[in-house]
Copies of this chain bind each other. A is one copy, B any other.
């Protein structure tokens, strides 16, 4: 039998090939993820690995770490989940004296960041690119983490400085409108497939809140990787986004050279769809 059906494969080869296991030492192209900024969130489908970035939101990152280390999120749930938008988790609708509201950090000065422009326009921001793999927007000297799929941010009440404990993970690009309105402070670097498995609510009925508690996916356990014994701790590396290698990968995606393409795609690139390679390294 002739092999067909895998016809879509080569469309991605340009990307896959750029990151194929190299024979040479390429360690300078990769950045180690600091276990002190790595969150391991267990859901029933697997473990979601989230890298926090204190450069963008030091106070909010500190709060999230403190909540994690206090076991606050253990045995809570993703109770409001809207497909294509966000999965919201925590102890829905409660406030806690020991966790007062904190100041929003929706953006920060653009200076002092290792920002690499994407090299393509964006619908929502005048300039977009990457900082250490995080998708970032820039405008008039300010910078912020974009609400791309995988971004984690704090939910809040109506005022800017009203976040306390609840967070959400972005599921789809419908959340880009929340850029600079909520404090985005990290991103999923592994296990996004488990986030996508979370049971959804109905935006038209309860605005995404899942009424049946048993249908809400539990957040089983959340730990800082730095609190996990080193031998059990995953060692992640993220491809550096300030390298010639990443620039070549972006170029290959904007100008794909695949035998499967019968028409040249437009030379466009949505920053949220540019894969940021992540790998684990054996101890």
Contact = CB atoms under 8 A, between A and B. Distances in A.
Q: How many copies does the complex hold?
A: 2
A174 interface: yes
Given A5-B165, A160-B262, A123 B121 contact: yes
Interface stretch (A60-68, A192-200, A224-232): A192-200
Given A12-B85, A158-B259, A172-B273, A124 B265 contact: yes
B16 A203 contact: yes
A193 to B, nearest CB: 4
Contacts of A265: 124, 177-179, 181
Contacts of A120: 123
B181 A261 contact: yes
Interface in A116-162: 120-125, 149, 155-160, 162
Interface stretch (A22-30, A49-57, A76-84, A243-251): A76-84
A260 B158 contact: yes
Contacts of A200: 193
A270 B173 contact: yes
A107 to B, nearest CB: 9
Interface in A82-131: 82-86, 88, 90-95, 104, 106, 120-125
A238 interface: no
Given A1-B93, A4-B93, A5-B165, 12 more contacts: A1-B95, A4-B156, A5-B91, A5-B94, A6-B93, A8-B88, A8-B182, A12-B82, A120-B123, A123-B268, A124-B265, A177-B253
Interface string A213-225: 0000000000000
A166 B159 CA distance: 50
Which of A166, A181, A182, A208 has the largest count of B CB atoms less than 10 A from its CB? A181
A76 B257 CA distance: 31
Interface residues of A, number: 89
Given A181-B261, A192-B84, A270-B173, A158 B7 contact: yes
A85 to B, nearest CB: 7
Give the dominant DSSP class at A's interface: loop
12 contacts: A1-B95, A2-B95, A8-B155, A8-B178, A10-B158, A83-B193, A123-B270, A125-B266, A149-B172, A171-B196, A181-B260, A181-B263
Would you list the 6 A-B pairs with minimal beta carbon distance, nearest first?
A: A174-B273, A193-B200, A5-B166, A177-B265, A123-B268, A7-B156
A272 interface: yes
A196 B171 CA distance: 10
A15 B84 CA distance: 14
A277 B204 contact: yes
